[in-house]
Amino acid sequence: MDPLRGSSPAARILATLPEGSVPALVTGVACIIFISQTGATNLLSSAAFIAVTMVLLVLVRRVASVKDDVALLANSEARFRSLVQNSSDVIFIVEADTTIRYTSPSAQKVLGVHARELVGTKLINHVHPDDRALANRFFHALLEAQGGVPSVDDWRLLRTDGPVIWTENTGTNLLREPTVGGVVVNMRDVSERRTLQSRLAHQAFHDELTRLANRALFLNRVEHTVARVPRGKHPSAVLFLDLDDFKKVNDSLGHAVGDELLVATASRLTTCVRPGDTIARLGGDEFAVLLEDVDGMTDVVAVAERISTALSSSFQLGGRDVFIGVSIGIASMEMGDSPDEVLRNADLAMYFAKSRRKGQFAVYEPSMHDEMMEHLELEVDLRGAVERNEFEIHYQPIVNLVTGELYGAEALLRCNHPTRGPVPPSRFISLAEETGLIIPLGRWVLKEACEKAREWRTRFSGRRPLQISVNISVRHFQDPTLLQDVQEALNDSGVEPWSLTLEITESVLMHSSEATLARLRALKALGLKLAIDDFGTGYSSLGYLQQFPIDLLKIDRSFVEAVGIEEVDPVLARAIIALGRTMQIETIAEGIERPEQREGLRVLGCSLGQGYYFAKPMSAQRFANECLNKTFEASPTTPAEPQYAFRRRA
């Protein structure tokens, strides 16, 4: 409301004068009036001049002030116009139905169309179709807002040249503002920010190397799948995958080739499942697959078989063929399962598959959990047994098959648990390998066996020195301390190196690397003997027999079983013995249990043997009492033309 409405024109003029000029002007006018009424002519002339001058000065000042205000207003308008025209944001003034009434020039840079062409069109029509419902809610909320409260939201806009951009939009309802009369929308291009956010979100839930889902995303999807189990008519399952022999690839060819192998594995996995199934890399060489809504577990098993076949084919990496396998555990989902439980069950099943044989798969059963708990308890007991020295060594005699003379003894590790009783070697040896405890155990067996050999030599000085055989595990063989462990055992006991035989498995020789050859030669340089245990059941390459310094071949009991059975030709035992004779390598037969086997092996040319036919493994004390002074039954005189001894199959 105008406070000067109804005032006189003079009052309105005074109100427009600058502050401080009104009193001076009033004073001047009063002087002119006073002098004119008193008749003081001369004085009037002077006073009039002064008053007129003052009035003129005030008017001049007012004019200058008005010019300054006009200039300031013009500069402000120019500055505002420049800011609007050069702003990276786009300013729209739209009607209630989003019809554009005004847009800033920056619309051409953001939307790819001149501002003039946008006026009269509806802003909602430039929004991406998938986001128009969101934009409509945005404008509806603005129209209902009172007092011009701003609203902010993001959506996508369609540029005329094709690309889609993300914009952050701030709207203010100024429909009731006379100078605006519309909804003001400030629009900012945030495409780079949204792209960065999307990339960070992808990295947070995907494996950087393979681009597969990571553990967090996989568990999240398993959680959603489990939540649908009660409503679903079809089962869902998780496959837990562990690559076999991946460590060998990393160690032999390097981590760069190992990474290539993981990427290639991920690529092959995608060909084995449906597009909607989830594949994840959980870490290292472990992968997982989520199969949702399958027809039955037979379909899940079929996927496992496809994966096993796909990964068993060679990979072309680093200019060479690389072969691996995969062990797979399968777990179905039940109502109430947590994602971690489902994954744990699949992991347990994979462990059982790998423990049977590499390249297999197994379906989870509740009994597996009980066995795993027992396995963990046994591991704790095994560590305690090592600390409490609850292990002992049993010795099994090795006999000359022709003369019956005691040739030596094989040192065999045994564990007698205080509550479990005797623990089979098949249980604790593999666990010791897995945990690394086999290295201190192997070191202890070496020292104890050499000490016992020295003790027996001192006690029975009149007989031929015994050959003592000690098994060396794969893990101990690969450990850098092996050479030192053997040297210390020989030095501390004082036995001659030639009386010690180290038995190694064929798996040690699978990769005829320079490191393996160098280690074998270093051991041989100490003066001891080297034997291949269970020959014929593993790698069985004739090449390494020529390359490596091997002294003895131990024929596996599975080949000895066929010896001495009527109408069965023990072709494998015969071939190994002939091979040893050709290469001048001595042969020892394991698992002799019948006299026919002993005689048949002798006829074939095998000179040494061991087994229950002669004696079971026994304590060191029993061995000293029962075997050291004993000559086992000598073989009958060999005829001029040896005849093979048969025994009719039972």
Q: What H or E segment, with its residue span, contains residue 355?
A: helix 339-356
Q: Report yes or no: 292 and 225 within 8 Å, Cβ to Cβ.
A: yes
Per-residue confidence (pLDDT) for residue 381, from 0 to 100: 77
pLDDT score recorded for residue 163: 79
Across 122-145, average pLDDT = 89
Q: Which residue has the higher pLDDT, 383 or 563?
A: 563
pLDDT digits (tens, 9 = 90+) for 154-164: 888 888 777 78
Q: Per-residue pLDDT tens for 259-285?
A: 999 999 999 999 999 998 999 999 999
β-sheet bridge partners, residue 332: 237
Question: What is the per-residue pLDDT for 464?
Answer: 74
User: What is the average per-residue pLDDT within 168-178?
Assistant: 88
Pairing of strands 315-317, 320-322: antiparallel
User: Which pLDDT does position 80 carry in this prediction?
Assistant: 45
CA angle at residue 456 from 450 to 460, to 5 degrees?
A: 150
What is the assigned CATH class of domain 206-364? alpha beta
In angstroms, the CA 147 to CA 138 distance is: 16
What is the value of pTM for the model shown? 0.55
* DSSP assignment letter at 335: T
Which residues neighbour 572 within 8 Å (Cβ) at sequence distance 6 or greater?
536, 559, 562
- Poorest-confidence range of 119-123, 229-233, 359-363, 398-402? 229-233
Q: How far apart are CA 634 and CA 599, in angstroms?
A: 10
Mean pLDDT of 467-474: 93
3-state secondary structure 274-298: CCCCEEEEEECCEEEEEECCCCCHH
Q: How many residues does the chain have?
A: 650
630 versus 297: the higher-pLDDT residue is 297
Amino acid 116: pLDDT: 85
CATH class as words, domain 409-598: alpha beta
Closest by Cα among 277, 284, 296, 151 to 222: 277
In CATH, what is the architecture of 87-196? Answer: 2-Layer Sandwich (3.30)
Span 622-636, mean pLDDT?
Answer: 81
Query: 614, exposed or middle or buried, with CB in 10 Å at 0-12, 13-18, 19+?
Result: buried
* Cβ–Cβ under 8 Å, residues 590 and 561: no
Taking CA 402 as the corner, what is the angle to CA 398 and CA 407, rounded to the nearest 5 degrees? 25
Domain boundaries, the chain: 9-84, 87-196, 206-364, 409-598
User: Could you give the CA distance from residue 160 to residue 600 in angstroms, rounded to a whole number?
Assistant: 93
Q: Residue 648's pLDDT is what?
A: 34
pLDDT over threshold 60, residue 31: no
Q: Which residues pair with 286 in a beta bridge?
A: 242, 283
Measuring CA to CA, which residue among 610, 611, 560, 607 is closest to residue 585?
607
- Cβ neighbors of 425 (< 8 A, separation 6 or more) are 412, 413, 414, 415
pLDDT band at 13 (very low <50, low <70, confident <90, very high): very low
**Residue entry with tokens 């946008």:** 118
**Which uninterrupted H or E stretch holds 399?**
strand 391-400
Q: Is residue 330 over pLDDT 70?
A: yes
Q: Among candidates 246, 240, 339, which has minimal Cα distance to 287? A: 240
- The backbone torsions φ and ψ at residue 160, rounded to the nearest 5 degrees and listed phi first, read -70, -25
- CA pair distance 417, 377, nearest whole angstrom: 12
